[in-house]
Amino acid sequence: MRPASRLTFPARTAAPNEVAAILHSFTDHLLYSLAKDQYSATMHDKFMALALTVRERLTERWIATQQRYYKKDAKRVYYLSAEFLLGRALGNNLINLGVLEACREAMRMVGIDLDALLEEEIDAGLGNGGLGRLAACFLDSMATLNIPGYGYGIRYEFGMFDQEIKDGHQVEKPDEWLRFGNPWELPRPEYALPVHFGGRVEEFTDEDGKHRVRWTDTDQVIGMPYDMPIAGFGPTSSVNTLRLWRARASAEFDLRVFNDGDYEKAVLDKNRSETISKVLYPSDLKVFGKELRLKQQYFFVACSLYDIVRRYLSVRNTFEAFADKVSIQLNDTHPAVAIPELMRLFIDVNGLPWDQAWELTTRTFGYTNHTLLAEALETWPVTLFGRLLPRHLTIIYEINRRFLRQVMSRFPFDEARVARMSLIDESPGDPAGKRIRMAYLAVVGSHAVNGVAALHTELLKADLLRDFHEMWPERFNNKTNGVTPRRWLLASNPKLAEAITGRIGDGWITNLSELHRLQHFLDDAEFLAEVRAIKAANKKALANYILTANNLVVDPASLYDVQVKRLHEYKRQLLNVLHIIALYLRVKRDPEAPMVPRTFLFGAKAAPAYSTAKLIIKLINAVAEVVNADPQMEGRLKVVFLANYRVSLAERIFPASDLSEQISTAGKEASGTGNMKLALNGALTIGTLDGANVEMREEVGADNFFLFGLTAAEVMALHKNGYRPRDYYERNAELKSVIDLISSGFFSPDHPELFRSLIQGLLDHDPYALLADFESYVECQKRVSETYLDQDRWTRMAVMNIARMGKFSSDRTIAEYAREIWGTLAVP
């Protein structure tokens, strides 16, 4: 520790971003905002003080940005998403603001290690996985590109659960991310809004003799906005706003206390309305009929639309120009109730005729689909929906009536098509009754519909939304996902970033295609050595983390083989495990045979109710226990399950990865974005022709990508022609020995039947074709090991991967959305 006297500082005379001024703000915040002195300040207090210092420096630009948008009367784009998986903000803001080194120096002067301070921040984990993180990358890119963009979502009090591993099993702990306060949010009680639920629909004639509808006798909750600044990268970029809504009880509840005299009940009711924004649903699979989830969706959509319309009307008094000034992007169907809600605002609240309201609505919305999996498509029982949102139900019925009339006139005598395309699924087999198909509603109510990778969009057009594509081919377009190079290279892998900048300058940070110039250095031994040394150092750092977190020693010279993503059967972590067991058996059979030492790293959360996924986590840990305890595996195999995979852990893992496992069943992964982050950090991919892997391979070249497995078309044909997984088991001796070993109870001696259901699932059904792809996967992994033996070749391939990742910047993705869907221009 430095002497405490270092915490007293000169008066503020320097420019705000100079070291002295930063230090001055920092100590002011410690004293005046946190009421701490050098004796009582904890590391976390110091983190808070620096965060508040940085927030101050964002504020001027934030206000200036919003004024610019207002003065230019710019077209705004609103990104509606139930999830924003932001992770930590401090390091990112320091970099985007350009004050990282000044702050490092200021902290050094008072004996604080900035990197240790950054570790104090709790992740903002307001998302499940890819979809939520994509929203966060998009915010970064919109701000960097000076696009007048706003994120709108929910301020969950509890984000994605914290995962602990106990006896190999996943245990969930609530994520109390707000426990020590959130320095990045600004409550805006002055913009609080009422939101209505329930009640009934009433028709009446207004003073002009017009037939009108009103929604009455509703329950109310209040939406309280919390704003977070989103700083773009560089001195001339924007600071945009992420507005998250928190549910509060309305004043009505307080009146009820007064009137009913039932204090206890009134306070309990108050509590109930505030549960709406309590917790993120930790499942990226369908959850049937959860009323609270629908309440969450409508709650944030209603608040956001009210806000959007209010902002529009603050400078205009007719709706004529609405779609020229407002674009709203729906991040999957989670906010799709925005379509009937905007119709309600136009028609019921503002008296617009249906046709005009509908034209404006469809011109305003764009819909992004993120999945082809049938079980992940959102539908809501009509009864539940009608109880909560009776007016919206009548609007949806009217949308459907007019839409089906259009279908009939376009495709007369095709009744089957009409039933297939209806927004209401009336399939008689369903005991819960009719259901609303939210994806269809989103397509009908939008002028643009996109998938998130080329293959995914093609499958959407050919499969899930085929009928809709036949009707409106012009609505469909592809927007291949991307990731922000600021967080995923510049901030998380500073040494590699510096090495790159040393060779090609720093233009790549905002123009990632410039990375292609690294190809000039493919034969530059010095550069290759530098890249290799950086990877080695990053692997060492991760090994240190693993030693602390898992109490395991891993060898930084071994090949780090990494699969980090949500746990899902279609992502096939189990296929990875089958390969590990195959290697284990090979060593057991022939302990002297040479092999490339590998460390297998897993990180994955399972939805708490997804028992198969949880069982796969247990299997990974059971295999890890056997492998890691076996002296014969020493220097050969190690298996590590990294608990609580999240954004900040991803930032440690990617820079240290050699091999990126992207092994989903072809046709199932919409895009993937971890695949891009890993390749950008110099990992080579072993993968199927699925999602964005297809385009990544196109970019890096077939020689620099380890491809295996069936294509999407082959997988479909396999199932159509009566797939018999057991045949693969019988015919492949290695596969058989692996399966038999699990079946024997070898990995669960105290409970030999534990993994029985996994094995039965593979042998009898195997819907994700693990057994069909096993041989191809294992063969491909042999090629990986052979290649790794030639470190020079491996490093050149890694550099080629980095050099060819330019396409996968979210800046490119956002520029495409802006030009082709939103029609928004930069406001620099």
Active site residues: 370, 565-566, 571, 673, 677
Report the alpha-carbon distance of residue 331 to residue 352 in Å, rounded.
27
Report the alpha-carbon distance of residue 454 to residue 456 in Å, rounded.
5
Q: How far is the CB of 671 from ligand 26Q (least distance, A)?
A: 4
Q: How far is the CB of 453 from ligand 26Q (least distance, A)?
A: 8
Report the alpha-carbon distance of residue 572 to residue 663 in Å, rounded.
6
Q: Which is nearer to ligand 26Q, 250 or 671 (CB)?
A: 671
Identify how many contiguous H helices and E strands the chain contains and give both numbers.
33, 25
Binding-site member from 123, 274, 669, 766 for ligand 26Q (CB under 6 A): 669
H or E stretch covering 430: none
Binding-site member from 177, 281, 508, 747 for ligand 26Q (CB under 6 A): 281
Task: Please choose, out of 278-286, 303-311, 530-538, 651-659, the segment that lies near ligand 26Q by the rule CB under 6 A.
Answer: 278-286
Q: Which is nearer to ligand 26Q, 74 or 287 (CB)?
A: 287
Q: Which is nearer to ligand 26Q, 476 or 788 (CB)?
A: 476
Residue 442 as a binder of ligand 26Q (CB under 6 A): the answer is: no
- Residue 291, beta-bridge partner list: none
Q: What residues between 306 and 345 interact with ligand 26Q by CB under 6 A? A: none
At residue 698, what are phi and psi to the nearest 5 degrees? -55, -40
Residue 673 as a binder of ligand 26Q (CB under 6 A): the answer is: yes
Residue 438 as a binder of ligand 26Q (CB under 6 A): the answer is: no
Interface map 365-384 toward ligand 26Q (x if CB under 6 A): -----xx----x-x------
Q: Which is nearer to ligand 26Q, 371 or 781 (CB)?
A: 371
Q: Is 45 helix (H, G, I), strand (E, B) or coil?
A: helix
Q: Which is nearer to ligand 26Q, 583 or 814 (CB)?
A: 814
Q: What is the DSSP string of 323-388?
A: HHHEEEEEESSTTTTHHHHHHHIIIIIT---HHHHHHHHHHHEEEE-----GGGS-EEEHHHHHHH
Report the alpha-carbon distance of residue 647 to residue 488 in Å, rounded.
10
Residue 130 as a binder of ligand 26Q (CB under 6 A): the answer is: yes
Q: Taking CB positions, which residue lies at the least distance from ligand 26Q?
A: 130
| Nearest residue to 103 (alpha-carbon basis) of 65, 68, 53, 60 | 53
Q: How far is the CB of 78 from ligand 26Q (least distance, A)?
A: 18
Q: How far is the CB of 84 from ligand 26Q (least distance, A)?
A: 12
Q: What residues between 584 and 623 interact with ligand 26Q by CB under 6 A? A: none
Name the one residue in this structure whose structure tokens are 């198969």.
612
Residue 129 as a binder of ligand 26Q (CB under 6 A): the answer is: yes
Residue 22 as a binder of ligand 26Q (CB under 6 A): the answer is: no
Q: Which is nearer to ligand 26Q, 220 or 612 (CB)?
A: 612
Q: Say which residues have a Cβ less than 8 Å from residue 363's Cβ, sequence separation at least 6.
A: 323, 447
Binding-site member from 87, 672, 682, 761 for ligand 26Q (CB under 6 A): 672
Q: What residues between 676 and 695 interact with ligand 26Q by CB under 6 A? A: 691
The amino acid sitting at 203 is: E
Residue 796 as a binder of ligand 26Q (CB under 6 A): the answer is: no
Q: What is the DSSP string of 488-544?
A: IIIIT-HHHHHHHHHHH-SGGGT-GGGGGGGGGGTT-HHHHHHHHHHHHHHHHHHHH
Task: Please choose, out of 106-114, 276-284, 356-364, 494-502, the segment that lies near ligand 26Q by the rule CB under 6 A.
Answer: 276-284
- Kindly report the CA angle at 418 between 413 and 424, in degrees rounded to 5? 160
DSSP letter (8 states) at residue 631: G
Residue 666: CB atoms within 10 A of its CB come to 24
Whether 686 and 576 have beta carbons less than 8 Å apart is answered as no
Q: What residues between 29 and 58 interact with ligand 26Q by CB under 6 A? A: none
Report the alpha-carbon distance of residue 784 to residue 654 in Å, rounded.
18
| Nearest residue to 81 (alpha-carbon basis) of 340, 296, 359, 251 | 296
Q: Is 641 helix (H, G, I), strand (E, B) or coil?
A: strand
| Nearest residue to 481 (alpha-carbon basis) of 66, 8, 145, 816 | 816
Q: Which is nearer to ligand 26Q, 65 or 481 (CB)?
A: 481
Report the alpha-carbon distance of residue 740 to residue 744 in Å, rounded.
6
Q: How far is the CB of 803 from ligand 26Q (least distance, A)?
A: 23
Q: How far is the CB of 123 from ligand 26Q (least distance, A)?
A: 17
Q: How far is the CB of 673 from ligand 26Q (least distance, A)?
A: 5
Q: Is 553 helix (H, G, I), strand (E, B) or coil?
A: coil
Q: What residues between 451 and 510 interact with ligand 26Q by CB under 6 A? A: 452, 481
Binding-site member from 274, 284, 773, 811 for ligand 26Q (CB under 6 A): 284
Residue 667 as a binder of ligand 26Q (CB under 6 A): the answer is: no
Residue 131 as a binder of ligand 26Q (CB under 6 A): the answer is: yes
Q: Which is nearer to ligand 26Q, 61 or 370 (CB)?
A: 370
Whether 149 and 143 have beta carbons less than 8 Å apart is answered as yes
Q: Which is nearer to ligand 26Q, 185 or 378 (CB)?
A: 378
Residue 278 as a binder of ligand 26Q (CB under 6 A): the answer is: no
Residue 293 as a binder of ligand 26Q (CB under 6 A): the answer is: yes
Residues that bind ligand 26Q (CB under 6 A): 128-131, 134, 281, 283-284, 286-287, 293, 370-371, 376, 378, 452, 481, 669-673, 691
